[in-house]
Amino acid sequence: MKVDFLIFTGVGGETEESNGSSQKTWRSVGPSKIAGRLRQAGYTVQIINFATHFNYLELKEITEQFVDNHTVIGISTTFLFGNNLTQKKATALEEIVAEYKSKYNCKVLLGGPSPEFYKDKFNPDIIIHGFAENKILEVADKLKNNGISRKRVDHWDILTCNHKWHATDYIQKNETLPLEIGRGCIFSCKYCKFEYLGKKRGEYVRDFALIKDELIENYEKYQVTNYLLMDDTFNDDVYKMEEWCKMVDSLSFSIKYTTYCRGDLLYRYQDIARELYRTGMHGTTIGIESMNMKAAKIIGKTWSAKHARDFIPYWVHDICKNKTLTQLNFIAGLPGDTLDDMWSWISWSKENKIPTIRTNALMITNPKFYPNEAAYSDFDLNAEEKYGYRFPNRRLPLAWENDQMTWFDAKRANKEMWQYISNNFSDSAWSGFAAFSLDYTLDEILNMTDSELYTSEEYLKRNKQWFETYKQMFI
């Protein structure tokens, strides 16, 4: 069947550091919500999840049945980071998009958190930045109605989002699925570029009755009980956490979930923290960022320097009883931090048997060079004036330097850190949960390092079969 919109997504778990070697059974929820909006407006849509996993011939076999002169090709950039931005050779996804654009004169629509980084690869006709539920219908109408947009009165709202997976998403039995809880964050960390920062407690949170409906449908249709909760700060409100625990307790089945939490709030409300673990939070990502007081104070996370060393081991070993894929995040390049500091935090994490950590080089997106981002951090806006960063190479606008290190130092060291982490820690709180899709248990994931799990013959066999099953559903 030919469709109005053919949407491609990447594979969760890919990063520049992994070079595409860690493709996980982890899909993005955003394109599914966009597809739902389009279908409600009368358009036909097909999503091709995990598109970067397949080679050119496989992609063509899967997708040519959907494309003609009327098809718009959408590309979600959320999980394209394994599609290394600097590589010269075109990927299979780039090749298939270019072919359909040439053969059928298809319009190409690029979306996601940072689509500008990919415009040279996909030559898009239209770019949508950031959340798109209330932008997509206007764009679709113009594309499909000779530039004329219809007046629509419906407005998408996260509070009333009743998302359901579509039959053509081809969800597999026992798959680990993303589940959106809310958007935005009550905090405004100086490095953060997410939308809806500084929101009030309770804002932009889905109705828990609708979330419960989604959980029940996923269980009854697909036997799904494992979730990646999408919420910039899940534990930002005590009332919200109490209501979440009540809702989970009301289910006739148990779930496991991983999400983003603030360490200071787990520390402040330890009774709530214990309830979260009891109701299935067996993974969480905690943004420590820095354990140095200077950097922690500047970014708005003094707790990380004061209490993280004492509380995080207590959280992992006592509250969670060593049954957690807790992940600590650190940023290389914050003001005052050195690479020696970064390595000392990695060593501390290993000594204290923290399940997993991740490091990332600080990214500063200067609006002078990237004027169309959906949102900017305070670092983006004031890097030179307030924070002491310099940008000596105007041809490389991401290449910052400060008195402690350069962007090149941070990127180079980050690759070394990722290699060390892969050989000494479990997989991340996100893609580790994705391994549940392949019938791995939490204990199995915790008792193997990242590299041991993903290079094992058994994992490679299960992973290959999982993607093959997904592909065969189209044929």
pLDDT at 19: 43
Alpha carbons within 13 A on the beta-carbon side of 438? 25
Residues 231 and 271 both lie in one domain:
yes
For residue 165, tell me if it sits in a domain: no
Tell me the C-alpha distance between 313 and 47, whole Å. 42
pLDDT at 153: 53
For the entire predicted model, the pTM comes to: 0.92
Residues 184 and 136 both lie in one domain:
no
Q: Which residue range(s) make up the domain with 103?
A: 5-156
Helical (H) or strand (E) element with 257: strand 256-261
Residues 439 and 299 both lie in one domain:
yes
Residue 275: CATH number of its domain? 3.80.30.20
Residues 245 and 123 both lie in one domain:
no
Question: Which DSSP symbol is given to 110?
Answer: E
Separation of CA 52 from chain center: 16
Residues 86 and 216 both lie in one domain:
no
Picking from 380, 404, 188, the residue whose alpha carbon sits closest to that of residue 295 is 404
Residue ranges of the chain with per-residue pLDDT less than 50? 19-21, 83, 86, 88
pLDDT at 21: 47
pLDDT at 133: 79
Identify any residues that bridge with 7 across adjacent strands, giving them in sequence order. 47, 74
For the chain, the domain total comes to: 2
Residues 177 and 268 both lie in one domain:
yes
Residues 258 and 135 both lie in one domain:
no
Residues 187 and 141 both lie in one domain:
no
Q: How does DSSP assign 390-409, residue by residue?
A: B---TTSTT--B-SS-BHHH
Residues 30 and 179 both lie in one domain:
no
pLDDT at 14: 56
Residues 425 and 457 both lie in one domain:
yes
For residue 161, tell me if it sits in a domain: no
Whole-angstrom CA distances from 254 to 280, 347, 470 are: 7, 35, 26
Residues 184 and 274 both lie in one domain:
yes
Residue 114: CATH number of its domain? 3.40.50.280
Q: Is 86 helix (H, G, I), strand (E, B) or coil?
A: coil
